[in-house]
Amino acid sequence: MFSLEEEINRRCTFAIISHPDAGKTTLTEKLLLYGGAIQTAGAVKGKAANRHAVSDWMELEKQRGISITSSVMQFEYNGRCINILDTPGHQDFSEDTYRTLMAADSAVMVIDAAKGIEPQTRKLFKVCAMRNIPIFTFINKLDREARDPFDLIDELEKEFGIGTYPMNWPIGCGVNFKGVYDRENKRILSFGDLHRGKERLSAVECDINDREKLVELIGEYSANPLIEQVELLDGACFDFDIEKVRCGKLSPVFFGSALTNFGVEYFLEHFLAMTSTPLPRKSGDRMIDPASEPFSAFVFKIQANMNKAHRDRIAFMRICSGKFERSQEYLHVQGKKQLRLSQPQQMMAEERSVIDEAYAGDIIGVFDPGIFSIGDTVCAKGMDVCYEGIPTFAPEHFAMVEQTDSMKRKQFEKGMNQIAQEGAIQIFFEPGSGLERVVVGVVGVLQFEVLEYRLKNEYGVDVRRSALPYELVRRVPEDVDPKMLRLTSDTRWVQDFRGKNLLLFTGSWSIDWAISHNEGLSLYEFNENDSELEK
């Protein structure tokens, strides 16, 4: 039995990010295999065998070969309890990634060694940097032809403006991949046929200065470059500083091959040794300590209709402090109501199981009868806590969406509202026009496709979508009547669900025009408190 503090301190909650196809799913799967959480590879992706458990619109993900949803997986490894938060690989869903990162204490970035940094890694990294969380890099697919490792780390440093610290170093790649050199222990982990599968790795102790043994182990062809590279590496100005790792300024880099399971266990062990236990979270001016305070959590994700068999809505919460108990009543801070969180569950790939207790660091999904919004706080009665909200990204693409069958009006409204409440889209209304057509704003255009697919498959509604030329949105001050404003003809006035006025602009030129032609007018960013998101 662990004490409350031990339970919390043995937890590790991290998000995994990558450009599609870099190997995020494969790495996750191998980590789960180590934890004994799954028995066979392929269980995470929801392949043919467990397709029944996969939600309808996950079909869309499969068709498109992308991962849209983010799921949560928990497993035990060497006495640690690990929560992995999977994130959508596609940049169009970077807002979802941002929310997921809010629930994580660190991030693991998977990079394809042949490709290096790819466009979506860039965007996702930027999202990580906003949170200043520790970033660990796993350079994958060394069993294939790869780019020069020095080039790869150089690229990481230059593009991302962070330091890197290679924990291990690859010995060759592709057909000449011989293994990795463990810098800390100065030993070789050799890659042989034995390691092409689930087998654990047997490390071979080898002093890099013992040339004879080194040659025997990896051959003359690989030994010489390795000695040179290690010298270069040790001589270069790479300093390891755990404090820099903790604030996201230095990324420990691991080389390996997730598919062949090479370097995964090494990564897991070193990562666990370096990553922090659940961190305190800010509530107003106070930091809420995970172990010394009662239960508190915040909602970072809401998702409806995850499973065909359960047409329900799940709110995902990150527990920030204390212990969650199923039988307890808690306070929903924003709703000012006491409630019992019904059907609390933890996710394992596509499986769900109902749980009785959970601890700070854990992610739980609770049934949401439509009361939660993203960013809401839930806590023990009598506790004075309200976590900082999760900022909304300003939409960058807009479309007019209207139902094609006027008999389906109710379903259309329900679908649009529910999907908007999940934070998957933003909806706006034209003053004076009916609800059968709505202006939809998204961060990435693929979100439109998900919207159409979900409206059809979950709500039985067909829609017509026409692209709108707007790119920027600004809020109008409460005391200004938009009807009285002088605006360019390509500017559109809309309202959000609270009736607040917004203007949609085709470019910054029209914003400047509006400001210079309406004396004293100031227009606000879509989300005023989150100006850092607009950069």
Scanning residues 425 to 484, which ones bind ligand G4P (CB under 6 A)?
A: none
Q: Order of strands across the sheet with 437-442?
A: 426-428, 437-442, 397-403, 463-468
The minimum distance between CB 142 and ligand G4P, in angstroms, equals 7
Residue of 5, 20, 389, 475 interacting with ligand G4P (CB under 6 A):
20
**Per-residue x/- marks for ligand G4P, 66-95, CB under 6 A?**
-----------------------x------
Question: Is residue 10 within the footprint of ligand G4P (CB under 6 A)?
Answer: no
* Cα distance between residue 139 and residue 145, in whole Å: 13
**Cβ contact 266:201 at 8 Å:** yes
Q: Is the dihedral of CA 463, 469, 471, 476 positive or negative?
A: negative
The minimum distance between CB 522 and ligand G4P, in angstroms, equals 44
Find the part of the chain contacting ligand G4P (CB under 6 A) among 138-146, 326-334, 345-353, 458-466. 138-146
Residue of 259, 379, 401, 476 interacting with ligand G4P (CB under 6 A):
259
The minimum distance between CB 254 and ligand G4P, in angstroms, equals 12
Scanning residues 365 to 404, which ones bind ligand G4P (CB under 6 A)?
A: none
Helix (H) or strand (E) holding 419: helix 409-421
Find the part of the chain contacting ligand G4P (CB under 6 A) among 135-143, 148-156, 209-217, 453-461. 135-143
Question: Is residue 140 within the footprint of ligand G4P (CB under 6 A)?
Answer: yes
Strand positions, DSSP E, 50-202: 72-77, 80-86, 106-112, 135-140, 163-166, 168-171, 179-182, 187-190
The SS3 assignment for 184 reads coil
**Cβ contact 270:10 at 8 Å:** no
Question: Is residue 172 within the footprint of ligand G4P (CB under 6 A)?
Answer: no
The minimum distance between CB 245 and ligand G4P, in angstroms, equals 23
The minimum distance between CB 174 and ligand G4P, in angstroms, equals 9
Helix (H) or strand (E) holding 453: helix 446-459
Measured between its terminal Cα atoms, the distance across the chain in Å is: 48
Find the part of the chain contacting ligand G4P (CB under 6 A) among 14-22, 200-208, 331-339, 473-481. 14-22
> Encoding tokens for residue 277?
């236990």
Q: CB under 8 Å to 381, separation ≥6 — which residues?
A: 329, 330, 331, 338
The minimum distance between CB 22 and ligand G4P, in angstroms, equals 5
Long-range contacts of 414-417, Cβ-Cβ distance < 8 Å, separation of 24 or more: 414/459, 415/454, 415/455, 415/458, 415/459, 415/461, 416/440, 416/455, 417/497
* Cα distance between residue 107 and residue 517, in whole Å: 46
Residue of 105, 143, 376, 422 interacting with ligand G4P (CB under 6 A):
143
Question: Is residue 257 within the footprint of ligand G4P (CB under 6 A)?
Answer: yes
**Per-residue x/- marks for ligand G4P, 210-249, CB under 6 A?**
----------------------------------------
Contact positions vs ligand G4P (CB under 6 A): 18, 20-26, 89, 140-141, 143-144, 257-259
